[in-house]
Amino acid sequence: MSKLVSPNPISPFKALSLTAIALSVGILTAACQEQGTAPSGTSTTSPTAAGGTGGLKIGSLLPATGDLASVGQPMLAAVPMLVDTVNKCGGVNGAPVTLVPNTDDQTDPTAGADGMTKLAEVDKVAGVVGSFASSVSSAAAPIAVRNKVMLISPGSTSPVFTERAKKGEFQGYWARTAPPDTYQAQALAKLAYDKGKRKVATVVINNDYGVGFEREFVQAFKKLGGTVTNEAKPTRYDPKATTFETEVQAAFSGQPEAVAAIAYAETGALLLKTAYEQGLSKGVQVLLTDGSKSDQFPGQVGKTSDGQFILAGALGTVPGADGKALDAFSKLWQDKFNRPPAEYAPQAWDAAALLVLAAQAAKANTGEAVQSKLREVANAPGEEVSDVCQALKLLQEGKDINYQGASGNVDIDENGDVVGVYDVWRVEDNGKLKTVEQVRLQ
């Protein structure tokens, strides 16, 4: 059950060469400079930690390139920001935290698996923030488990991970700070129904994210009393596709009142532009999700012949942030980048925070140690604390904590899941994205 409430006011390990490492540094540098700062993650390596004498070492596996590059940029900046903050207040277990420069997963499962292998077997990190795409995390997780590396995703939301966790596949080495699409699908279904839509079609990217979301959305929308026009023959597109004529014809053929496009930005833009060019989307409410939410997306889809944005009026959902640490995090971000934090930056901050707090709680810097204390620092009982430095201090004093994050309370269940709140966003006539309300699941 959910309800609408007012928005929050602030709302190829294919070659282990020096060249590959240099490229990784270059990618992070470019990503962070785009955010308006030098790559702080490259300045946190101390002689002690770099010498391999036991300091906590973590990394990130996030998309600097590929279909989700535009969504990945805020996460690329949030992780080094957290590490800098921690090191300024004394580090973990008496030493600075080493942050390995981001390994670009290219929004590709093969590249993600290669990157995770490098992080685990060459860099020998204890924990990794990543990935974002569910298909990439699916490829990376078995490598993390095999090497006993704690993997925390700030945005892989496929329900598949819950099912795999229940089967014991992850052995506790998987968690996420963004809620599974079991919940977001319910939020999107209710949004559609509340807007008076009773006949909806789906068109989704054919991977763990798209198919998992589709399944949950269809179930939730039908439960509300709606009809999914292409339920018997779902419309799914190849993640590497470059043309979409067949897919848009299939999705729009049943005269739906709305079409839920569960897509990534680059391919999703081509798909929706094709629907417009074929005259299929006129009068149809477009529904979107987190996978395509970026400031560039309306421009990627394009404009009409009279200069209007094709996507004007489209509605979407995205995991929001309402944690007790959000105000402080937003101020830190605003001071550094002169803009409010974008979606998933709070979730990336919290993922990195949980890694360092769990290591401090365990008084050890291994992946096994981090895994053993993760839920203990994230959940009750313990003193509620939202400031990561204060949390480290309490742990150093031997006290129990219940970390309250920027994205939410980050209470992590036995499957590595959290429950969250969802922002509803709309594409305005000028192509800007605006948060218009929230859906809170109870």
Q: Are residues 94 and 207 in the same domain?
A: no
Residue 409 lies in a domain: no
Q: How far apart are CA 374 and CA 217, in angstroms?
A: 31
Q: Are residues 246 and 394 in the same domain?
A: no
Q: Are residues 28 and 173 in the same domain?
A: yes
Residue 411 lies in a domain: no
Residue 369 lies in a domain: yes
H-helix segments, 225-264:
245-252
Q: Are residues 297 and 224 in the same domain?
A: yes
Widest Cα–Cα separation across the chain:
65
Burial of 283 (0-12, 13-18, 19+ CB in 10 A): exposed
Residue 378 lies in a domain: yes
Residue 390 lies in a domain: yes
Q: Are residues 307 and 296 in the same domain?
A: yes
- Domain range enclosing 69: 2-180+323-403
Residue 352 lies in a domain: yes
- Our CA angle for 387, 349, 186, nearest 5°, is 110
User: Left, alpha or beta for 24 (phi > 0: left; psi -120 to 50: alpha)?
Assistant: alpha
Residue 413 lies in a domain: no
Q: Are residues 61 and 35 in the same domain?
A: yes
Q: Are residues 201 and 332 in the same domain?
A: no
Q: Are residues 374 and 309 in the same domain?
A: no
What pLDDT score does 135 carry?
95
Q: Are residues 433 and 306 in the same domain?
A: yes
Tally of domains in the chain: 2
Q: Please write the tens of the pLDDT for every residue from 314-361.
A: 999 999 899 999 999 999 999 999 999 988 999 999 999 999 999 999
Residue 412 lies in a domain: no
CATH of the domain at 345: 3.40.50.2300
Q: Are residues 135 and 230 in the same domain?
A: no
Q: Please write the tens of the pLDDT for every residue from 265-300.
A: 999 999 999 999 999 999 999 999 999 999 999 999
Q: Which residues of the chain have pLDDT under 70?
A: 1-53, 440-442
What pLDDT score does 442 carry?
55
CA distances from 174 to 64, 102, 157, 167, 354 (A): 22, 19, 12, 13, 12
What pLDDT score does 4 carry?
33
Q: Are residues 386 and 237 in the same domain?
A: no
Q: Are residues 160 and 277 in the same domain?
A: no
